[in-house]
Amino acid sequence: MAKDNGVVIIGGGAIGLCTAYYLLQQGVKSTIIDKGEMGHGSSLHNAGYISPSHFVPLAAPGIISQGLRWMLNPVSPFYVKPRLDLDFIAWAWKFRNSCTQENVERAAPLLRDLSTASSALFEEMAKSNGMDFEFMKKGLLVLFRSERGRAAMMEEAGMAHKLGVGALFLERRDIQKLVPETEIRADGGLFFPDDRHITPAKWVADLTRYLEANGVQMLQNTEVKGMVVSNNGITAVRTSDGEIRGEEFVLAGGAWSPEIVRGLGLKLPVQAGKGYSITINRSNRKPLIPMILTEARVALTPMGNTFRAAGTMEIAGLDLSITQRRVEAILTAVPKYIGGFTLDDFKQGEVWAGLRPVSPDGVPFIGRFSRYNNLVVATGHAMLGITLAPVTGKIIADVISGSKPQFDMTLLHPDRFA
């Protein structure tokens, strides 16, 4: 039997849940449909960073040559699987063309503004509705252990200062004073005092509980298989459990988003960027501050009584299989930067894989498709999907209610590559 709803959100990850949250704040009760459990996609066991420090988009000068070097190394943090897949080839071409200084200059102020606004929304959310997702204000330390890393961090410090993002360049002895509980083996680093972190699994569970208790309809284990179109609008989604009608539809399917709208003739350039995390129980959790190990592209996060190492970006399609040697590469990097860890500490760790939805220019797709008058998209956040989830949800709620979002929507436009 067809069911009627106002706003139908496809995908119950960080982005879909936040969209429902901010719609609810405007008095709109939506329906979220997920093919699995709410929050159990990429949003579950990631590094949990809320990072205004990540203002440099993924598509930046130098990344292609670095990527080509990394591709020759089977344990590198970045891997692109060569494939004769037209969507992948088209995406790779757009990505290559976006790796320019102009893209960095265009995207960096926007990413700074979005993530700063989102961080404030996280703080507000953490104080309300009985939520307890371990919102921590510890900052972020980005460590380096090579001359190339030092040069990159100095350049980033300069950019941060220009953009007004707080960043402190520190030598090893200064870092040691900042984190006396941790033995620092890296040469130095950059400290971003305004970064925050959360425990993402607790956050998505809190959001799910809150939304359900406040009348948002949650359809789990229900797969969207297609859409019903009339004139220039969508009238319903076809799911594994029948048709669901609606007035507005929000595409928040993460890395699966292009598949969901393929039948509509829309080509959304998003590729899955697989990453892994390894979580261990650690009651004397040190370090106490999240750290990025620059050369290894590894993120470390203390979360409650656990400690998490995360990393790797594999552009290899919608594949969640775990490549053990890349997981080991994440772990072997840790003792090179800090003391107090051996590989044995991670032996009983829980290994998890997630698929980041990666856009070609490092900026998400947020807004209405021009071709359909009631289809809004919110995806392509790559490494920033947790950081930007609240502000994305708020923008989408504004777009649906007809209010003007406070950001430059042209840079976020879903048709910008069409």
Q: Which tokens go with 184?
A: 């620092």
Which residues, 90 to 149, sit near ligand FAD by CB under 6 A?
none
Stretch that binds ligand FAD, among 33-41, 69-77, 91-99, 401-409 (CB under 6 A): 33-41
Tell whether residue 48 is a contact of ligand FAD (CB under 6 A): yes
Total binding residues for ligand FAD by CB under 6 A? 42
The residue (of 49 and 88) whose beta carbon lies closer to ligand FAD is: 49
Among 5, 8, 16, 258, binds ligand FAD (CB under 6 A): 16
Half-sphere exposure of 350 (CA within 13 A, CB side): 11
Tell whether residue 88 is a contact of ligand FAD (CB under 6 A): no
Residue 398 CB neighbours (<10 A): 18
Transcribe 126-174 into DSSP letters.
HTSTT--S--B---EEEEE-SHHHHHHHHHHHHHHHHHT---EEEEHHH
- Smallest gap from Cβ 357 to ligand FAD, in A, equals 5
Q: Which tokens go with 114?
A: 């979005």
Transcribe 293-321 into DSSP letters.
ETTTTEEEEEETTEEEEEEEEEE-SS---
The residue (of 152 and 330) whose beta carbon lies closer to ligand FAD is: 330
- Smallest gap from Cβ 353 to ligand FAD, in A, equals 7
Stretch that binds ligand FAD, among 80-88, 142-150, 250-258, 337-345 (CB under 6 A): 250-258
- Smallest gap from Cβ 311 to ligand FAD, in A, equals 7
Tell whether residue 19 is a contact of ligand FAD (CB under 6 A): no
Give the residue closest to ligand FAD by C-beta: 385
- Smallest gap from Cβ 51 to ligand FAD, in A, equals 6
The residue (of 80 and 224) whose beta carbon lies closer to ligand FAD is: 224
- Residues 148-187, mask of contacts with ligand FAD (x by CB under 6 A): ----------------------------------------
DSSP state of 184: B
Which residues, 278 to 337, sit near ligand FAD by CB under 6 A?
299, 310
Stretch that binds ligand FAD, among 42-50, 173-181, 340-348, 406-414 (CB under 6 A): 42-50
Cα 187 from Cα 337, distance rounded (Å):
8
The residue (of 223 and 295) whose beta carbon lies closer to ligand FAD is: 223
Stretch that binds ligand FAD, among 23-31, 271-279, 320-328, 396-404 (CB under 6 A): 271-279
Among 5, 9, 24, 35, binds ligand FAD (CB under 6 A): 35
Residues 294, 143: contact at Cβ < 8 Å?
A: yes
Look at residue 266 and give its three-state secondary structure: coil
Alpha carbon 78 to its chain's center:
16
Cα 386 from Cα 52, distance rounded (Å):
12
The residue (of 158 and 242) whose beta carbon lies closer to ligand FAD is: 242
Q: Which tokens go with 177?
A: 């004073």
Cα 9 from Cα 28, distance rounded (Å):
12
The residue (of 120 and 176) whose beta carbon lies closer to ligand FAD is: 120
Look at residue 267 and give its three-state secondary structure: coil
Residues 200, 390: contact at Cβ < 8 Å?
A: no
DSSP state of 418: -
Q: Which tokens go with 107?
A: 């995207």
Half-sphere exposure of 210 (CA within 13 A, CB side): 21
Cα 229 from Cα 236, distance rounded (Å):
7
Which residues, 331 to 390, sit near ligand FAD by CB under 6 A?
354, 356-357, 379, 381-387
Tell whether residue 252 is a contact of ligand FAD (CB under 6 A): yes
The residue (of 183 and 201) whose beta carbon lies closer to ligand FAD is: 201
Residue 343 CB neighbours (<10 A): 11
Among 8, 9, 10, 140, binds ligand FAD (CB under 6 A): 10
Cα 95 from Cα 377, distance rounded (Å):
20
Binding site for ligand FAD (CB under 6 A): 10-16, 33-36, 40-43, 46-49, 223-224, 252-254, 256, 260, 275-277, 299, 310, 354, 356-357, 379, 381-387
